[in-house]
Amino acid sequence: MQVAIAGASGYAGGELLRLLLSHPQVTVAAATSERSFGQPVHMLHPNLRGRTDLQFIRLQDLPKVDVLFVAFPHGQVAPRIEQFASVAERIVDLSADFRLRRASDYTRWYEWEHPAPVWLNKFVYGLPELHREELRDARYASGVGCNATVLNLALWPLYRAKLVEMTVSEVKVGSSEGGNEATPASHHPERSHVVRSYAPTTHRHLAELEQELGFGDKPNIHLSLTSVELVRGALGTSHCFLRQNLQERDIWKLYREAYANEPFIRIVKVRRGIYRYPEPKILAGSNYCDIGFELEEGSNRLVVISALDNLMKGAAGTAVQAMNVMCGFPETMGLDFPGLHPI
């Protein structure tokens, strides 16, 4: 099968290249970059040196392919969606442009009049754990927000069971989440060793939480984001105030029922050792989302801890997983790297 990546110069694009070049069922036919066309892809993605002779081409030269991955910045996919659809039977779009079902949500969260609202319902939210069946028949899958995903996967079993009154979620994120453009805030002397509140009260990814965790109600979720010293990775800490008193074994049961057969979700909760709860440190390059929890004694607070690699399960990994589902490949194909320890 032939695949291509439109907008392959960024970090998610590079990660797609890494995954797809090793995927047994696909051939990467093209990767576009308007700024770097003509250059070998390993100039921007130095880990691919010696792995491919592929060079960036212009978007206008994109060949017809079976699956097109789009890794453009937000807001730049929807205006070109007809063009993209004309070159590929199937599209997996990593941007935010088709993640939300309602055009009005784009007005509200992105302050943006969606230019192709008729396309919104053609896309399936591309998180197989929540939309596997719809993805099997889908031609178009959206990307997922990395912060949204680390929380959606952690909270979904609880919200589906309508157990949660209110949640305060904090996500700690690494610097790759900001993309590959240098800014004053990403300058190493300024970004190094921060514990920096960058969105204390709101973040656009909340839109994806409200959409995916609704189950009839608007979920009551309060979100904060903090940058930490890390390149890859996100840790979600969700303080869920439950409607009823539950025991630890009830929570175990709930998560097991939800995720026992999920190849990329691991319940991490052990009594001994250093890695007793999920940690992004050991997930770099892997497609896992690890989930753990602890009940507060004497209260209705359940702390759910979740970790993933924002470029993998939070972006390119889930995109390839979605393609696997859409194309009928084994779901873990090309995504079997377990992560490194120590690192």
Give the catalytic positions in this structure: 146
Say what the alpha-carbon torsion angle 9, 10, 16, 20 is, to the nearest 10 degrees. 20
For residue 48, what is the DSSP state? G
CA gap 316, 11 in Å, rounded: 9
Among 182, 214, 252, 253, binds its own copies (CB under 8 A): 182
| 260 forms part of the interface with its own copies (CB under 8 A) | no
Among 126, 145, 285, 314, binds its own copies (CB under 8 A): 285
Q: Which residue's CB is nearer to its own copies, number 78 or number 311? A: 311
Quick check: 318 and 149 in contact, CB under 8 A?
yes
Quick check: 238 and 304 in contact, CB under 8 A?
yes
Q: Which residue's CB is nearer to its own copies, number 118 or number 195? A: 195
| 272 forms part of the interface with its own copies (CB under 8 A) | yes
Among 151, 268, 308, 333, binds its own copies (CB under 8 A): 268
Helices 317-327, 11-21: axis angle to 10 degrees equals 50
According to CB under 8 A, which residues from 22 to 51 bind its own copies?
22, 43-51
Query: Tokens 């008193």 sit at which residue?
Result: 245
Q: Which residue's CB is nearer to its own copies, number 128 or number 280? A: 280
- Which span sits near its own copies by CB under 8 A: 102-110, 148-156, 193-201, 248-256? 193-201
| Torsion sign, CA atoms 89, 95, 100, 106 | negative
According to CB under 8 A, which residues from 230 to 259 bind its own copies?
230-233, 235, 237, 239
Task: Encode burial over 145-164: b for 16+ CB neighbours within 10 A, e otherwise.
Answer: bbbbbbbbbbbbbbbebebb
Q: Which residue's CB is nearer to its own copies, number 66 or number 294? A: 294
Among 89, 180, 330, 332, binds its own copies (CB under 8 A): 180
- Which span sits near its own copies by CB under 8 A: 56-64, 72-80, 96-104, 283-291? 283-291
**Residue 313 C-beta: closest distance to its own copies, Å:** 14
**Residue 242 C-beta: closest distance to its own copies, Å:** 13
| 82 forms part of the interface with its own copies (CB under 8 A) | no
According to CB under 8 A, which residues from 50 to 69 bind its own copies?
50-51
In the shown chain, the binding pattern of residues 214 to 233 toward its own copies, with x for contact by CB under 8 A and - for none, equals --------x-x-x-xxxxxx
Q: State the burial class of residue 133 (Cβ atoms within 10 Å of its Cβ: 0-12, 13-18, 19+).
A: exposed
Quick check: 151 and 101 in contact, CB under 8 A?
no
Question: Which residues on adjacent β-strands are paired with residue 68?
Answer: 4, 91
